[in-house]
Structure 1
Amino acid sequence: MSKKLFILSLLVWAVGCFSHAVVAQPPRGPFVVSPQINSDKTVTFRYLAPSAKEVKLSGQFLKSPMEMVKDSIGIWSVTVSNIKPDIYPYSFQVDGVTVMDPANVSFFPNERFKASLVDVPDNPPLIHALQNVPHGTITYEYYPSVEGTTGSVVVYTPPNYDKDASKKYPVFYLISGTTDTEETFFKVGRTNLILDNLIAEGKAKPMIVVMPYGNPMAKIAEQKGRSKPADPTSRDGADAVNRAKLFEVDLVSNLIPYIEKNYRTLNNRENRAIGGFSRGGGQTLRTAFGNMDKFAWICCYSSYLSTSEMESNFKSITEKPENTNKQLKLFWIGVGDEDFLYKGTVEFMDYLKAKKVNYKSLITPGGHTWMNVKTYVAETAQLLFR
């Protein structure tokens, strides 16, 4: 074969391979931008679904789902105005099926529902906004947990943690709600950015924040090949109390020792706080009341314990209120006035007041939402370890 013929053959082979590679690539649809924060403070949401008959936008910034309109190439869109600046979960209802926004990488970590997140900014920036301040570090950790399983936890260390190997820090154990994961206080609550901003302003002491997964029974089931257990039918029934006890054992016996071995922590009750939202708030109260030698700071977000449970399991907290008040440097309770747990939380506060147990409280507008949780985290972080 001549040299020219050989080169020509190579070129034909290369073009053929390239053509085959191009043909083999999956087709790409139009590029979709969603959500889009506009200069007039409106927000545009888009979803590509050429074959869909109906698409609606659902979000915690809406009273009811909004109809979206399809353009000539199959992109559905709607523009929403007057959204109060904050972070909100949202999703699309496509012919009756709820889906996340595939154009958005920001999502709500949860065992049950999958929602995307939209961050509507404000000026000046909100406390959870990414700002030009020194930043802490987020680390994903795994630790030996109950029944031979491996537990998962997200850990925040404050700015400059790695610069001074001799400095030790107080620790805030922060527990998310039912069906939330260890990522929720980080990705939805933006606890790391709240702490960064407060520390930079001198409003909060540098601290380590430990965010565990609050459902060890699900972790056991997953790792041992069992079906995930359904949620308890009652917030203060025997099943819920037993699960909270399992979490308490894991936290006190496994997670705290792991954190104190692997991080530079101040290992006494005066430098250990515990807080949580919803189910995590109940776990907070049960764990703290059962381990008053471990925690001097309690932060309860949108949760409570019933009078019957207090009387049967934690009578020592109210029998000698002067001793409880002396032990606790902070007992803080927050709830929204539209929260479905508002009534029970207020009754809990009334019970504590009648028993002369001191606490600080904050009642905010709104419901059982992570918009409120961020407010509670920002408020309590300024009070801890003072």
Structure 2
Amino acid sequence: MKKSIFILVSCLMLFGVKTFSQQALWGGSDIVSPEVHADNTVTFRVLAPDAKDVRLTGDWVPSGDWTPATVELKKDEKGLWTYTTEVMSSDLYSYSFFIDGLRSNDANNVFLNRDVSTISNIFIVGNGVGDLYKVNKVPHGSVTRRWYDSPGNDMTRRITIYTPPGYETSKDKYPVLYLLHGMGGDEEAWMALGRASQILDNLIAQGKAKPMIVVMTNGNVVQEAAPGESSLGFYKPISRLPHTMDGKMEETFPDVIKFVENNYRVQADKSGRAIAGLSMGGFHSLHISHYYPNTFDYIGLFSPAIDPIGDANSPVYDDAEDAIRTQMQNGYKLYWIGIGKTDFLYKDVERYRGQLDGLGMKYIYHESEGGHTWSNWRNYLTDFVPQLFK
């Protein structure tokens, strides 16, 4: 009997060792970080007994220009470092630690986002707009990654598509929002950083937005897909890629529309199409809507870049004022511009608004606090979507 028990225990130990090498069933820590309290303060914790200095940086911590600011954690007798914030406004936040000067993610938080080549932990503070970014108990849409043929770019490319709750069982045709990312982003950006599917699910459930299809493209026309999702395999993402703002994206955008309208039940006319984007995606949305001036009834520019980079030589950017006049003559239902007061593109947007005013073009302008941030762009999407397809 004793021998049998010994053999059984030995087998279990061997099985456990083998399994541990394949799947992380054990280990981890009981430390909770971050801990979001009922009063919307947040506590961060790091166990680092040998560290001399532990600091925290986050997108809510005031910073100078492009340099991240930090706050200092306090160490207890067991080597646990702790910091508790003041009351935070409702939002989705990202953060990282610096342990003796070395940037580190929070080992106790498995939730991360990639922004270009930077990986940061994330958390949500609720009791406000942050609740729109949560997965709530409402009907959910579907998110698929599709591959479409792009003859204009001579390749097959990846795209992310959100279909609203009930699409699969319905026979209805739906309007489409084409939602574009900023420089360094890709077809994953609005899903991961922008929480687009959660925002749409929640706004539709609240009756604040019409059910719609959302098409999230990859605006880097030299890429098949997001880093790690193409035939190039795993490589370090970079921000500035060729042909991002030289007209190629705008010229080949009909490839996207053709794929969507051939494969989905959509309202394939101007009144059923919207286009919006942030930063570089705002630039693309601006110029696509001008270059194809009878294609979209709804246009959204979120912290948009305005001018082509360098010596861009494309018909897309020719006769800009004539293109705006044509767009005005063809008619549209919404031209929406949002920018933060401290955004580095603020002056460019101000100049562009002056141009629109001089031509008599009507638009809605939303000026927010803050700068060139995902916090603003999620808010802009939340404001923009309920105004579509009315």
Which band: TM-score by shorter chain? 0.7 to 0.9
How do 1:1-386 residues align onto structure 2 when only pairs under 5 Å count?
9-20=3-14, 28=27, 30-63=29-62, 64-122=69-127, 126-145=131-150, 149-164=155-170, 166-219=171-224, 223=231, 231-232=239-240, 240-242=244-246, 245-253=247-255, 255-306=256-307, 313-314=316-317, 316-319=319-322, 323-327=326-330, 328-386=332-390
Is contact 1:35–1:43 with CA below 8 Å preserved after alignment?
A: yes
- Give the Å deviation of 1:83: 1.2
- Give the Å deviation of 1:375: 1.7
Looking at structure 1, the residues matched to 262 and 316 of structure 2 have their Cα atoms a distance apart, in angstroms, of 31
Looking at structure 2, the residues matched to 320 and 83 of structure 1 have their Cα atoms a distance apart, in angstroms, of 44
Is contact 2:148–2:157 with CA below 8 Å preserved after alignment?
A: yes
For residue 231 of structure 2, what is the amino acid of its counterpart? Q
The farther-off stretch of 72-81 and 13-22 is 13-22
Is the partner of 2:245 in helix, strand or coil? helix
- Cα separation, partners in 2 of 1:107 and 1:12, compared to 1, 3 Å: closer
- Give the Å deviation of 1:356: 2.3
Is the partner of 1:332 in helix, strand or coil? strand
- Cα separation, partners in 2 of 1:239 and 1:169, compared to 1, 3 Å: closer
The farther-off stretch of 337-346 and 148-157 is 148-157
Cα-to-partner distance string for 1:148-170 (whole Å, 9 max, x where unaligned) = 54422222111221231x20101
- Cα separation, partners in 2 of 1:151 and 1:50, compared to 1, 3 Å: farther
The answer for the alignment partner of 2:65 in structure 1 is: none
Bigger helix fraction: 1
Is the partner of 1:377 in helix, strand or coil? helix
Q: CA RMSD in A?
A: 3.2
Looking at structure 2, the residues matched to 347 and 384 of structure 1 have their Cα atoms a distance apart, in angstroms, of 26
For residue 155 of structure 1, what is the amino acid of its counterpart? I
Is contact 2:31–2:45 with CA below 8 Å preserved after alignment?
A: yes
The farther-off stretch of 285-294 and 360-369 is 285-294
- Cα separation, partners in 2 of 1:148 and 1:102, compared to 1, 3 Å: farther
Looking at structure 1, the residues matched to 377 and 231 of structure 2 have their Cα atoms a distance apart, in angstroms, of 30
Q: Percent identity?
A: 33
- Cα separation, partners in 2 of 1:20 and 1:232, compared to 1, 3 Å: closer
The farther-off stretch of 311-320 and 129-138 is 311-320
Looking at structure 2, the residues matched to 337 and 197 of structure 1 have their Cα atoms a distance apart, in angstroms, of 28
Cα-to-partner distance string for 1:330-376 (whole Å, 9 max, x where unaligned) = 22111000111111111111112112222221111111111111221
Is the partner of 2:6 in helix, strand or coil? helix
The answer for the alignment partner of 1:3 in structure 2 is: none
Is the partner of 1:109 in helix, strand or coil? strand
- Give the Å deviation of 1:103: 2.4
The farther-off stretch of 191-200 and 316-325 is 316-325
- Cα separation, partners in 2 of 1:43 and 1:224, compared to 1, 3 Å: closer
Pair member with larger Rg: 1
Is contact 2:117–2:237 with CA below 8 Å preserved after alignment?
A: no
Looking at structure 1, the residues matched to 253 and 382 of structure 2 have their Cα atoms a distance apart, in angstroms, of 24
Gaps of 5+ in 1: 1-6
For residue 246 of structure 1, what is the amino acid of its counterpart? K
Cα-to-partner distance string for 1:314-338 (whole Å, 9 max, x where unaligned) = 4555237554223322221110001
- Give the Å deviation of 1:101: 2.3
For residue 339 of structure 2, what is the amino acid of its counterpart? V
TM-score of the superposed pair, with normalisation by structure 1: 0.84
Is the partner of 1:78 in helix, strand or coil? strand
Looking at structure 2, the residues matched to 150 and 73 of structure 1 have their Cα atoms a distance apart, in angstroms, of 55
- Give the Å deviation of 1:231: 4.4
Gaps of 5+ in 2: 63-68
Looking at structure 1, the residues matched to 213 and 143 of structure 2 have their Cα atoms a distance apart, in angstroms, of 10
- Cα separation, partners in 2 of 1:260 and 1:312, compared to 1, 3 Å: closer
Is contact 2:280–2:305 with CA below 8 Å preserved after alignment?
A: no
